[in-house]
Structure 1
Amino acid sequence: MSVLLETSAGDIVIDLLVDYAPKSCENFLKLCKIKYYNYAPIHSVQKDFSFQTGDPLGPNSKDSDGGKSIWSVLSPTTAKAFLPEFHPKLKHKERGTVSMATTAGLKDPDQRIGGSQFIITLGDDLDYLDSKAAIFGKVVEGFDALEKINDAFADSEGTPLKDIRIRHTVILDDPYDDPPGLIEPPQSPLPTPAQLATVRIADDEEIAKEEDQEALEMLRREREARAQALTLEMVGDLPFAEVKPPENILFVCKLNPVTQDEDLQLIFSRFGQILSCEVVRDKRTNDSLQYAFIEFENQKDCEMAYQKMQDVLIDDHRIHVDFSQSVSKLSDQWRGSENAKRKKRGGGGWGGIQDLEKKRQYRAEVDGIRKGDGRYGMVFEKGGRKRDRSRSRSRSPPRRRERSRDYDRRRY
């Protein structure tokens, strides 16, 4: 029982584990048979981790419904999701593991439901995906294609700069009877107008080497940062790889060593209510490290202080003010709540439905995501508001932001 995926990165042959995941394998095979996956974009590429595909329009299309199961395609009154199998013997141990992308059910959060989207791993020992993605196959040929996808330049959302798409699907062996109403198209259908509208740079279009070098370098750095953030999330140092720093905390540096917490709080309190003000000190000598964090109750007060206090003299030192890039407090709160849960239930480690739902709820609180939008993410629903670009441009250049992060690491 095998399927050949012809992609713009190369051919990929998948062996299906019908004995362990019959429902997921039937869904995948029949979707391939009706050419549902044709021209589906490959997205959410995370180097040495995984990529995702199976949505005919992809996550960047406003018209996308996230993808449907074969039973929903054949009968529109049927729910578009189904319950995939999670066999205890199947783990994300090897590169090329193929699994259904799932999300928590709306009626029962303890259930995982899937539609058409699936994941292929690009690294080994990814137990983080166990119990979150339902394994139903493995890649047996086409690892060169996986390597091309792994090395592709992608934006901050993991979408390749140059389109990578499934061009065609060929069923090599199908043990299942066709469900009622299934009609196999006589030939591969052409892309729909909605699919063509999602094209950024066509997979057969050549990119001029002299063009976009700066953009490619920026994408490379973003991709590297994203991979590092994902690593921190997997080991528990970040609650979520794309967590954003709070916007009501100021980072203040170049302080005079004699400046005290009370001095800063008194000076900055004229802009609004301050929740905390701390000059960071050496743990051994208690000497000031000449930087501090000031947390305001309101974001607007924080922005006003940022605008007014740049290069102001305090104790004969001209200070520098920036918005904090630290998420350490958020991580500490996250770890604290999770550690308390582990002690209560007498267990340890990450993963499981409760941890996943906590992360989904956490992201909803931070990014303002609406629940139940019908989309199927790899592990979490995508979305969230973006920072105001005009304000972002008025902030410090990248070099100063990197300095702020270095200070944050020394603090926590």
Structure 2
Amino acid sequence: METPQGSCIIGLYDETPHHRDNFIKLVKSKYFDATTFNRILKGFVIQGGDPDSLYEKGHKLKPEQKWLAAEFVPTLYHRRGVVAMGRDVNPAEASFTTQIYIVDGKPMSNEQLDAVEKKYHQHFSEAQREAYRTVGGTPFLDQHYTIFGEIVKGIDLIDKIAAVKVDKAGNPETPVWMKLTLLTPKQATQALK
């Protein structure tokens, strides 16, 4: 993923194959190259990929814009650097196929994690707690939004994008475009060296 602020490499998870395959299809079609990160909320998420508001009255969705059934996996959680699909408050918690976000989040104490567990009826493993205490994340999103990948190189891109000047709603004053390229296994191996 390239942006005006720099680039990163995203690894995709096999555990959420429908979301992974949807993302790959959109990357191959260059869909995301015409979109931006339209919502940047420092300490929470960096969201983009949706060039048209889903909720505009009378607006017809493009063929690639649809709902995708949730794929929640207990071992995948919203630590910093994770990439997931956005959604609205639909009861099935289905993802909007073209809306992605990267978790920024912030470190949390055990007491804060206890409060999240109680409020959202969740249970965090010790590995999750360690990640949330040290690298941070957004634990209250766990098992409510589908995760399909994570930044495996260039995680500092999060800080660079989060530093962009935004309005009160998190909309950047200057567009933060994205260009995504699918790497072959050989290219990925070379890039990760």
- Same fold, TM exceeding 0.5? yes
Q: Does 1:101 align with 2:83?
A: no
Counterpart residue type for residue 23 of structure 1: H
- Structure-2 change in CA distance of 1:82 and 1:147 (3 Å): same
| Partner in structure 2 of residue 364 of structure 1 | none
CA contact (8 A) 1:11 1:145 kept: yes
| Partner in structure 1 of residue 148 of structure 2 | 136
| Partner in structure 2 of residue 24 of structure 1 | 19
Larger radius of gyration: 1
- Structure-2 change in CA distance of 1:66 and 1:140 (3 Å): farther
Distance 2:8 2:60 in 1: 23
Distance 1:101 1:165 in 2: 18
1:65-104 CA deviation, whole Å, 9 max, x = no partner?
A: 6976xxx43xxxxx821213111111112x1110111234
Instruction: Pick one of 34, 41, 46 that aligns with 1:46.
Output: 41
1:142-162 CA deviation, whole Å, 9 max, x = no partner?
A: 223211111111001111112
Distance 2:16 2:60 in 1: 22
Q: 1:24 is paired with a residue of what secondary structure?
A: helix
1:194-250 CA deviation, whole Å, 9 max, x = no partner?
A: xxxxxxxxxxxxxxxxxxxxxxxxxxxxxxxxxxxxxxxxxxxxxxxxxxxxxxxxx
Distance 2:39 2:167 in 1: 9
| TM superposition shift of 1:54 | 1.1
Q: Does 1:169 align with 2:151?
A: no
CA contact (8 A) 1:45 1:159 kept: yes
In structure 2, list runs of 5 or more residues that go unmatched: 106-135, 186-193
CA contact (8 A) 2:8 2:153 kept: yes
Distance 1:152 1:36 in 2: 23
Aligned-residue RMSD, C-alpha: 2.7
| Partner in structure 1 of residue 75 of structure 2 | 89
| Partner in structure 2 of residue 393 of structure 1 | none
Poorly superposed stretches of 4+, deviation over 4 Å: 58-68
Q: 2:171 is paired with a residue of what secondary structure?
A: coil
| TM superposition shift of 1:132 | 2.6
CA contact (8 A) 1:67 1:115 kept: no
Equivalences, count: 155
CA contact (8 A) 2:45 2:104 kept: yes
Q: 2:87 is paired with a residue of what secondary structure?
A: strand
| TM superposition shift of 1:116 | 1.0
- Structure-2 change in CA distance of 1:43 and 1:17 (3 Å): same
% of aligned pairs identical? 30
| Partner in structure 1 of residue 172 of structure 2 | 160
Counterpart residue type for residue 143 of structure 1: I
Distance 2:45 2:174 in 1: 18
1:324-375 CA deviation, whole Å, 9 max, x = no partner?
A: xxxxxxxxxxxxxxxxxxxxxxxxxxxxxxxxxxxxxxxxxxxxxxxxxxxx
Distance 1:60 1:151 in 2: 27
| TM superposition shift of 1:48 | 1.6
In structure 1, list runs of 5 or more residues that go unmatched: 74-78, 175-412
For 1:326-405, list aligned pairs within 5 A. none
| Partner in structure 2 of residue 113 of structure 1 | 95
CA contact (8 A) 1:42 1:53 kept: yes
Q: TM-score, normalised by structure 1?
A: 0.35
| TM superposition shift of 1:165 | 0.8
Distance 2:57 2:10 in 1: 29
| TM superposition shift of 1:131 | 2.4
- Structure-2 change in CA distance of 1:25 and 1:164 (3 Å): same
1:292-350 CA deviation, whole Å, 9 max, x = no partner?
A: xxxxxxxxxxxxxxxxxxxxxxxxxxxxxxxxxxxxxxxxxxxxxxxxxxxxxxxxxxx
- Structure-2 change in CA distance of 1:59 and 1:149 (3 Å): farther
CA contact (8 A) 2:47 2:100 kept: yes
